[in-house]
Structure 1
């Protein structure tokens, strides 16, 4: 169907079936009440292309609303930071005629209410309805039935006005049932006079009445224009006292009044709220509240305690959050029946805008903020994937939604009708006030001017700054945790200043349309043509709860073609916007919904079977009292307290690697602890050693059969507590029948060739008591990484390979790695044993020995940072580099670990390799590698680093002008403005310095399997769930006794530099191999594996124990069932 120009719309022939619950059983039973078997087609819900939106003209729709601003009539954003934030959208059926009506809010203009007359034509009834709010600066709006009369009422938030609290008082318009409204906010007790942004209605106490959460902001924000306000924010965050500025919780008393329960409920807070997303995040049956907060204040996640109080658990639920959270939305994005969360920020798509607008992240200030309780905040959009129990993994960078320009509203909905929810994002800012050159000039002007001139300067600033138009974005859900921006193709990439937005099926044709509130441009009505092009089936559910009680908090689970989806009924979404109406569910190419499970707000369940597609169904409350009881049998249980005594706590020493190399991508001093196992006293049970950081001795734990637990054993390790322990291995040095211990010293704390990098050998006296042997410890003072043991020459003595991690303070330069031959109990350095210069091997992280060519000699496989998977074949006592022969030369990654096993049961060794993963700022492909250049470019005696990454087809510096100039001051001289720097590519910035620089690159960051096909290798990426975070350690074991090797892996990287941000989204993963050789993950809540710390080592012990070594945290012991 086309709606171009003013052409009328022909009537849509659509079957809309309004049914009571009795009618539903007609689908399942015949007249004799016998079950009819309906077989659903075996069709998977694969993603379906979006055929496109069509912008319908205002002349046709009748919607001529335009939120016009006039900077000459407004205060500066310096004095009211939200002055350019725009208006909102509220969608709902105010007259119960089955058509969704539209309300739009304005700032300097009056609000408008449009009645839907059908065929996407609307009538402006604002004046007669009495909802114009002519004298108010309006922000958010929400339709909700606050008095349980079956009619949608309207709550409108107001802000801005300092002169009159009355004009700031929010409005409650009670629906009179005749398309008119009566304003009664004061009578109801919710004429709040705070600086309000948006309200969300929920029944938090389950009493059958809609309560209200109201998002407010403080009046003033200093930003960084006058001074650093970090301490002010931290103090106010920790000690909120200003109730006017706080968010509010109003309890609906059910008698036409509300009570302010903000303080008693635990909601009193401080922050520049911009978004609120209600949902049952921990699935305990009680609605929780997420609040998105701007300007460097942390977000809030209020978990409902079920007793009228809430607890803010944001800092424990989220490992990191957006720096300036804008709009937010909550929905199940991966169809695992848990509510996920998206927040928006202001990270630009292109290199130029990023370099000219991205906030500088001073490491010292950043960690001061963290210590002050403001949490880990990064300037980018976040996709918080719910792992269960309100614990989240943030995967926005892997998903590809982490940048979308200056964004406001995000809406999660299935616009394509394929069963996967897309993300629609509005963009644009009326003035480009984030431009760093502009801000720097303003700060200089402020310093030179008397205080009484500040307002005049602020006014001039606003008038001089150019507008920042940005295109709106539509991220298509690919069904594999990734999204693709298809806005241009889908016809919804409007370029302007879009703010609030909401979705609904405005024309009742079975797909979701969009309403967008713009500044200085008429509101947009985007018709979705998905159904016209026969793309994707759907079902819509209108849920009617008992006694006219609103359906907020109702949960829906559907199954169609073996594809499950989950929805929760909430009203407020995105930014200053809301939708109150039927739940729209896309079901792809399926034509039957096998089951619908509704969990009503009172916890009762209603089950409906076998519904045909493409209809609107009105479902009355008539529960079947069936409750699902799912018994989850975990594979893992944490038993640390009963297994380890005392519990080991790794204490990372404080060391600032960035003082030595400003642009270091991550610290090189935080790679421990490593754990090694072995039966050191020959009692038939394995014991273990866990390494310490510099200043902390390693510890040996002995297994005690009586208590079936491990106890600390005193040994000679205290002598070397100054060393930083990295790899270690138990091996029989003297062939005397007991295991000795080799410990690698590493880190970055000491200067190159420091004695503190000396590795150590501890000799076992046969009873498990270890003594340091200087004679047995070869003198070598490189910063090591790993050690692997093998009798590579088959002489009966175990030899060692020691992989060197790096040259201290000279990243990414590498030092030689070594083979130590065991000559009758003495370790001797083997010279010239490698065909290549061992110094060129690379920054080794891990290695393993395996016989790859069936000649009864162990070959060596080595991995590392910036290295390919490297194979050295053992030939006549020499290790020959055959990486190229095995077609592995182009496998450069940031490989962290490697483990071997016969995965496919074909008699040879395969390998599983941990890499950086895909959920990181750095991106690499074979065609567009990630680069590093190093050298003393400015000849100051320090090794400089340049990281290069592709932005579209341009290779540009990763780091910005400010931090790059800290490393090389000449850059600031060459590029005096951020604009100049933003326009430059890598070659333009560094020029001839790159010609003679040490150069490395990465082509693949995916953790992978290296499958051995009779001597030839195939590198295959692990499933997407294994790419959420770096994998640092791997355990291979048949976990379910099916004869196939499965995978346990863990990781994270907390030591990243602050602009890049921590890689902390890993919670551990179990991958089970099926009969086809495919590996499939199971959710953390089902597996029982939840290791979400900075995991550096995983080690099996005594067959059913799993030791987890966490950096700067407690050791964990997990029992495998």
Structure 2
């Protein structure tokens, strides 16, 4: 492609045209609710393919910056951990000519400032501008107007491992208005001498002056890079005292000086800061500060209290975070008008790299760190979806952005101009120091070496370690909470060591270009060709706030083709980089923006209507009204305190399932409590029973009409508190007109066939007092999972199906499930009632009875872990497996629950099923299933487990060499290095052991609807929002009185093993059915449903009550409006 042909208009002519356009709109901006009338066809916004980036040569652009390193002249990464972290990028228009200029920082080389001359050609003005920082090791850089003179100034951070405070003193270059700068950091009071990474400017106190948040790090990694002491980390995190190492907050006094308010503002901290993302995360009108922290220290989320102080709310806002957070960016990724957050880590795409570089996570150490306040941290990228009120659901694994190799900068921006923001990620590390074999060798060498030779040894290590080149990544936003890596197709998958990066429309053609700072390679200028190929329209907004005050903190909401977008003005993004310039907004195929709503930093609102596409619009401050307040009417309100006395708190007993099976995917001892409802005293109001954990008795609550609330009732349950309750049902055992209670015992705490797995029957005396009856049911000591009631034989007595969960300590082997026939008030085990061996039914989690073939007999539908949706047709009292006849044999999932209702009002039962969901480490499709193999492979009397998953096209073990060797020591003998193990696939590792192993697989983890079409079934997935987390319990009810059944669901899985990480992103979901049979979710903030704990049971009670049973937490009562 010829560059000469792309730029027929000179920069000067282009500027004149732009000024003419802007002059017209300046006039329009003075009118209240200004309207520019344009008649334009409207086209719905859909994702648009990226046509591709073009790397423009240095010879053409004039940008020859190369951040070259020389390991012989540098300290070791052991002593300065950031030595290979690279440089940053700052973009901004320093001379107000309408063209974005470029500043690049170097480590051993001087920084460079390039003036944009138009047509993607630049002039190096570093020397004349006076911004080279020749003697400094520079890191991050930011353009910002710190003195409100309408000119962008430049702040540059410095660091490095030496004792020269002068070399580390950060620089502030004040713009003189003639393309020169004056260094005045000391005079302004911000020549900070900490080990600085990056700065972000914001007006945190709304006084009209840009304040500065400065990210610093400790000089060394605590202890040693290879021998991190988590206790020291925790102590320093909880007791930060070293102000030099702490992040800083500097208040701009408005008189050419800044004051250090770090301590009084509550910012004094400890951690290896690498990224900072400013945004109004709780939408209270005050900018908050997110800090990404590396090396196992937790991230910070500083919520602005509006009084000059901040509170770190990270541990309550995020359920989990990255283990080693690198760069970060904040943007509205799903167009719901809330700022989301992305952090990067170092998880590799392929199996080999993951197995040779993955962090080992000892469960005991992991939970000690959690208890010390270091939070739940996992080695992967995170996409924190804002649920409102600064509460987030992390959906990176579902989104497909959780792994991107050794990553640094992430930029959230609409590179495709389709109205959906993509994620651009830079990659690569100058030395592969995370290689497990290298680290192990270095540990051994250090143990053998005297301390005075550590530095010499460390330097040799750096020289011996191979480079780790990685390709840069571009995740295309598919508009459905998922992303696809299109970097290769888009032409931006450079392979090397890329660090800082920033975006801007460098050539003013209406799409976002990229500037990337590389190590040992010239900086990359990537021209976006989206507009040249007529792919996607846009609008750009240059916001001019009052009295030359910078526009930081301004919010923009636009509507085009019924497609809403939201932006906040902030400068620092990604890693060590920043962009200060117009806001770029892609609008897809729309050629009209119906409305632009601007909320200025003072809270006042300006509304502009009907703007034509494909223009840069300058908007002067001219508010039309005060900030609007949206009134929200919720469907749900929590009323636990007024409804339940005393409030039940489920207390999970401590038990380490992994001592019995090292590679267990999750604990089997933490699946309670279950809740059952029934009117036990015939007063017309439902009461309820909530099960206990092992060591805690279940509790019965009776409804009291006078107080309209539930009170605890004492019964016989205390006698069996050693049992783990996993299911229960009220039913009339004796046909005496009152409800009795059956309780399923389960869990994993006891050996197989322990008496503690015996189920129990409690007989009602007619007044709500229950007494245990040992004679009412057979002796059966299997670990149960659920119970369902039905008079399946129509004899007038209610019978029971009891689903068995598993064989204790022998996951995934299952024990028989049962039908108990009620014979005149006594439960008897029915033999040979199933056509198949009941032991082969599977790991049953839930079931329901329903007449599927209209023969007046209840049939049985059973779901479970590793099971298909299984249908057993009742044929004269025998249950015949007809799963394959209903084409459901290939529906294997980790099904947790099933509920029935006539969803489509056609007179038969349909079903809603809860599954693991898509936001988890484990992935499965029909073509690439998720596998498990089990058996006593090493013949030591214990059941061994092998989980297998596809990594790209390689079926490999899920767990790494270390954990796999703990289960089977012979693996370490067979594969003496991590490299050997990483090169092996599943068959290579386990070989003949797989031939005789018990084998199961899953082909679909999606929660779904099973629609009954006159006896044939169609399984369709629930909406994406329902796949954020496991669904453990479902309630079906017409919530809005439109005659259609809607869905309430809740879940999560906190019992996952630590390398996989908890599934904790669920906050509950409401799905409303429309007239076309489609289910649509509404945001948690609008619905009022926020159940973000480890939800195990949801139950409707007395029509408008919703009970929520949480594992190891308090019971909740929600009132449906």
Counterpart residue number, 2:257 = 257
Task: Tell me the distance in 2 between the aligned counterparts of 1:844 and 1:83.
Answer: 53
Task: Tell me the distance in 2 between the aligned counterparts of 1:557 and 1:225.
Answer: 45
Q: Structure 1 residue 14: deviation in Å?
A: 7.0
Counterpart residue number, 1:721 = 721
Q: Secondary structure at the match of 1:1064?
A: coil
Task: Tell me the distance in 2 between the aligned counterparts of 1:29 and 1:97.
Answer: 21
Question: Residue 322 of structure 2 contacts residue 345 of structure 2 at CA under 8 Å; is this kept in 1?
Answer: yes
TM-score by length of 1: 0.98
Task: Tell me the distance in 2 between the aligned counterparts of 1:819 and 1:850.
Answer: 15
Distance change >3 Å, CA 992–CA 1092, structure 1 → 2: same
Task: Tell me the distance in 2 between the aligned counterparts of 1:922 and 1:114.
Answer: 47
Q: Structure 1 residue 21: deviation in Å?
A: 12
1:341-376 Cα distance to aligned partner (Å, 9 max, x none): 000000000000000001011101100100110000
Question: Residue 40 of structure 1 contacts residue 561 of structure 1 at CA under 8 Å; is this kept in 2?
Answer: no
Q: Structure 1 residue 19: deviation in Å?
A: 7.9
Q: Structure 1 residue 45: deviation in Å?
A: 1.0
Counterpart residue number, 2:533 = 533
1:726-779 Cα distance to aligned partner (Å, 9 max, x none): 000000000000000000000000000000000000000000000000000321
Question: Residue 21 of structure 1 contacts residue 621 of structure 1 at CA under 8 Å; is this kept in 2?
Answer: no
Question: Residue 19 of structure 1 contacts residue 617 of structure 1 at CA under 8 Å; is this kept in 2?
Answer: no
1:844-893 Cα distance to aligned partner (Å, 9 max, x none): 00000000000000000000000000000000110000000000000000
Question: Residue 603 of structure 2 contacts residue 627 of structure 2 at CA under 8 Å; is this kept in 1?
Answer: no
Task: Tell me the distance in 1 between the aligned counterparts of 2:34 and 2:276.
Answer: 47
Q: Structure 1 residue 625: deviation in Å?
A: 1.1
Q: Structure 1 residue 591: deviation in Å?
A: 0.2
Alpha carbon RMSD of aligned pairs, Å? 1.8
Q: Secondary structure at the match of 1:459?
A: helix
Distance change >3 Å, CA 542–CA 7, structure 1 → 2: closer
Task: Indicate yes or no: 2:313 matched with 1:313.
Answer: yes
Question: Residue 764 of structure 1 contacts residue 771 of structure 1 at CA under 8 Å; is this kept in 2?
Answer: yes
Q: Structure 1 residue 631: deviation in Å?
A: 1.3
Task: Tell me the distance in 1 between the aligned counterparts of 2:27 and 2:896.
Answer: 56
Counterpart residue number, 1:59 = 59
Q: How many residues are aligned here?
A: 1121
Distance change >3 Å, CA 340–CA 6, structure 1 → 2: closer
1:1095-1116 Cα distance to aligned partner (Å, 9 max, x none): 0000000000000000000000
Distance change >3 Å, CA 49–CA 260, structure 1 → 2: same
Distance change >3 Å, CA 519–CA 920, structure 1 → 2: same
Task: Indicate yes or no: 2:358 matched with 1:358.
Answer: yes
Q: Structure 1 residue 141: deviation in Å?
A: 0.2
Task: Tell me the distance in 1 between the aligned counterparts of 2:560 and 2:9.
Answer: 32
Q: Structure 1 residue 525: deviation in Å?
A: 0.2
Question: Residue 349 of structure 2 contacts residue 403 of structure 2 at CA under 8 Å; is this kept in 1?
Answer: yes
Q: Structure 1 residue 31: deviation in Å?
A: 13
- After TM superposition, the structure 1 stretch with the greater mean CA deviation from structure 2, 155-164 or 472-481, is 155-164
Distance change >3 Å, CA 849–CA 418, structure 1 → 2: same
Q: Structure 1 residue 627: deviation in Å?
A: 3.5
Task: Tell me the distance in 2 between the aligned counterparts of 1:713 and 1:31.
Answer: 68
Question: Residue 1032 of structure 1 contacts residue 1095 of structure 1 at CA under 8 Å; is this kept in 2?
Answer: yes
Question: Residue 17 of structure 1 contacts residue 617 of structure 1 at CA under 8 Å; is this kept in 2?
Answer: no
Counterpart residue number, 2:489 = 489
Distance change >3 Å, CA 178–CA 433, structure 1 → 2: same
Q: Structure 1 residue 656: deviation in Å?
A: 0.1
Q: Secondary structure at the match of 1:900?
A: strand
1:802-860 Cα distance to aligned partner (Å, 9 max, x none): 00000000000000000000001000000000000000000000000000000000000
Distance change >3 Å, CA 1019–CA 279, structure 1 → 2: same
Q: Structure 1 residue 954: deviation in Å?
A: 1.1
Question: Residue 5 of structure 1 contacts residue 60 of structure 1 at CA under 8 Å; is this kept in 2?
Answer: no
Q: Secondary structure at the match of 1:976?
A: coil
Q: Structure 1 residue 229: deviation in Å?
A: 1.2
Task: Tell me the distance in 2 between the aligned counterparts of 1:22 and 1:347.
Answer: 46
Question: Residue 225 of structure 1 contacts residue 443 of structure 1 at CA under 8 Å; is this kept in 2?
Answer: no
Task: Tell me the distance in 2 between the aligned counterparts of 1:1002 and 1:143.
Answer: 52
Q: How does 1:699-718 map to 2 (within 5 A)?
A: 699-718=699-718
Question: Residue 651 of structure 2 contacts residue 693 of structure 2 at CA under 8 Å; is this kept in 1?
Answer: yes
Question: Residue 38 of structure 2 contacts residue 612 of structure 2 at CA under 8 Å; is this kept in 1?
Answer: no
Distance change >3 Å, CA 886–CA 397, structure 1 → 2: same
Task: Tell me the distance in 1 between the aligned counterparts of 2:543 and 2:745.
Answer: 64
Question: Residue 346 of structure 1 contacts residue 405 of structure 1 at CA under 8 Å; is this kept in 2?
Answer: yes
Q: Structure 1 residue 29: deviation in Å?
A: 12
Distance change >3 Å, CA 948–CA 33, structure 1 → 2: closer
Distance change >3 Å, CA 578–CA 647, structure 1 → 2: same
Task: Tell me the distance in 2 between the aligned counterparts of 1:383 and 1:700.
Answer: 41
Q: Structure 1 residue 592: deviation in Å?
A: 0.2
- After TM superposition, the structure 1 stretch with the greater mean CA deviation from structure 2, 728-737 or 161-170, is 161-170
Q: Structure 1 residue 952: deviation in Å?
A: 1.3
Q: How does 1:893-972 map to 2 (within 5 A)?
A: 893-972=893-972
- After TM superposition, the structure 1 stretch with the greater mean CA deviation from structure 2, 619-628 or 51-60, is 619-628
Question: Residue 410 of structure 1 contacts residue 575 of structure 1 at CA under 8 Å; is this kept in 2?
Answer: yes
Question: Residue 40 of structure 1 contacts residue 594 of structure 1 at CA under 8 Å; is this kept in 2?
Answer: no
Question: Residue 702 of structure 1 contacts residue 710 of structure 1 at CA under 8 Å; is this kept in 2?
Answer: yes
Q: Structure 1 residue 227: deviation in Å?
A: 3.2
1:280-315 Cα distance to aligned partner (Å, 9 max, x none): 000000000000000000000000000000000000
1:230-251 Cα distance to aligned partner (Å, 9 max, x none): 0110000000000000000000
Question: Residue 1098 of structure 1 contacts residue 1109 of structure 1 at CA under 8 Å; is this kept in 2?
Answer: yes
Distance change >3 Å, CA 745–CA 951, structure 1 → 2: same
Q: Structure 1 residue 953: deviation in Å?
A: 1.3
Question: Residue 331 of structure 2 contacts residue 567 of structure 2 at CA under 8 Å; is this kept in 1?
Answer: yes
Question: Residue 3 of structure 1 contacts residue 9 of structure 1 at CA under 8 Å; is this kept in 2?
Answer: no
Q: Structure 1 residue 58: deviation in Å?
A: 0.3
Q: Structure 1 residue 118: deviation in Å?
A: 0.3
Question: Residue 690 of structure 1 contacts residue 698 of structure 1 at CA under 8 Å; is this kept in 2?
Answer: yes
Task: Tell me the distance in 1 between the aligned counterparts of 2:340 and 2:209.
Answer: 26
Q: Structure 1 residue 455: deviation in Å?
A: 0.5
Distance change >3 Å, CA 888–CA 129, structure 1 → 2: same
Question: Residue 234 of structure 1 contacts residue 369 of structure 1 at CA under 8 Å; is this kept in 2?
Answer: yes
Q: Structure 1 residue 629: deviation in Å?
A: 3.0
Q: Structure 1 residue 674: deviation in Å?
A: 0.1
Stretches of structure 1 lacking an aligned partner (at least 5 in a row): none
Distance change >3 Å, CA 5–CA 354, structure 1 → 2: farther
Counterpart residue number, 2:805 = 805
Question: Residue 50 of structure 1 contacts residue 490 of structure 1 at CA under 8 Å; is this kept in 2?
Answer: yes
1:908-943 Cα distance to aligned partner (Å, 9 max, x none): 000000000000000000000000000000000000
Stretches of structure 2 lacking an aligned partner (at least 5 in a row): none
Distance change >3 Å, CA 39–CA 892, structure 1 → 2: farther
Distance change >3 Å, CA 932–CA 27, structure 1 → 2: farther
Q: Secondary structure at the match of 2:885?
A: coil
Q: Structure 1 residue 626: deviation in Å?
A: 4.7
Distance change >3 Å, CA 15–CA 757, structure 1 → 2: farther
1:148-177 Cα distance to aligned partner (Å, 9 max, x none): 000000000000042310000000000000
Question: Residue 33 of structure 2 contacts residue 606 of structure 2 at CA under 8 Å; is this kept in 1?
Answer: no
Distance change >3 Å, CA 311–CA 17, structure 1 → 2: farther
Distance change >3 Å, CA 593–CA 468, structure 1 → 2: same
Distance change >3 Å, CA 760–CA 17, structure 1 → 2: farther
Distance change >3 Å, CA 683–CA 6, structure 1 → 2: closer
Question: Residue 1033 of structure 2 contacts residue 1051 of structure 2 at CA under 8 Å; is this kept in 1?
Answer: yes
Counterpart residue number, 2:1092 = 1092
Question: Residue 29 of structure 1 contacts residue 36 of structure 1 at CA under 8 Å; is this kept in 2?
Answer: no
Q: Structure 1 residue 68: deviation in Å?
A: 0.2
Task: Tell me the distance in 1 between the aligned counterparts of 2:1038 and 2:33.
Answer: 49
Question: Residue 637 of structure 2 contacts residue 1118 of structure 2 at CA under 8 Å; is this kept in 1?
Answer: yes
Q: Secondary structure at the match of 2:484?
A: strand
Task: Tell me the distance in 1 between the aligned counterparts of 2:199 and 2:993.
Answer: 56
Q: How does 1:451-530 map to 2 (within 5 A)?
A: 451-530=451-530
Distance change >3 Å, CA 77–CA 36, structure 1 → 2: closer
Question: Residue 33 of structure 2 contacts residue 624 of structure 2 at CA under 8 Å; is this kept in 1?
Answer: no
Q: Secondary structure at the match of 1:212?
A: strand
Counterpart residue number, 2:843 = 843
Counterpart residue number, 2:1118 = 1118
Question: Residue 131 of structure 1 contacts residue 173 of structure 1 at CA under 8 Å; is this kept in 2?
Answer: yes
Distance change >3 Å, CA 17–CA 330, structure 1 → 2: farther
